[in-house]
Amino acid sequence: MSLKAKDLRNESKEELQRKIKDLQDKYLELKFNHVSGTLKNPHELNSIRKDIARIMTIIGEKNND
């Protein structure tokens, strides 16, 4: 479910902030599942972290404009 940077650049800062919040909540939930041993795909944690970083980079670009 990797998010594409070109698609994210078309969204507003508010939408991007909301996506970050949702992804952080999902990441926390998956992290708890990973610790408890019920997480089926641990690589999903990495993917979400990268998506969060990608969105934060785009927000930074928008702040510099």
Question: Around Cβ 48, how many Cβ atoms within 10 Å?
Answer: 20
CATH architecture of the domain 5-64 equals: Orthogonal Bundle (1.10)
pTM, entire model: 0.89
Parse the chain into domains and list their residue ranges: 5-64
- Tens-digit pLDDT profile for residues 8-36: 899 999 999 999 999 999 999 999 999 99
Please report, as a single letter, which amino acid is at residue 65.
D
* Nearest alpha carbon to residue 55 among 7, 12, 20, 10: 20
The angle, 0 to 180 degrees and rounded to 10, between the axes of the packed helices 13-36 and 43-64 is: 160
Phi, psi of 32 (to 5 degrees): -60, -40
pLDDT at 5: 86
Spatial neighbors of 31 by CB under 8 A, at least 6 apart, are 45
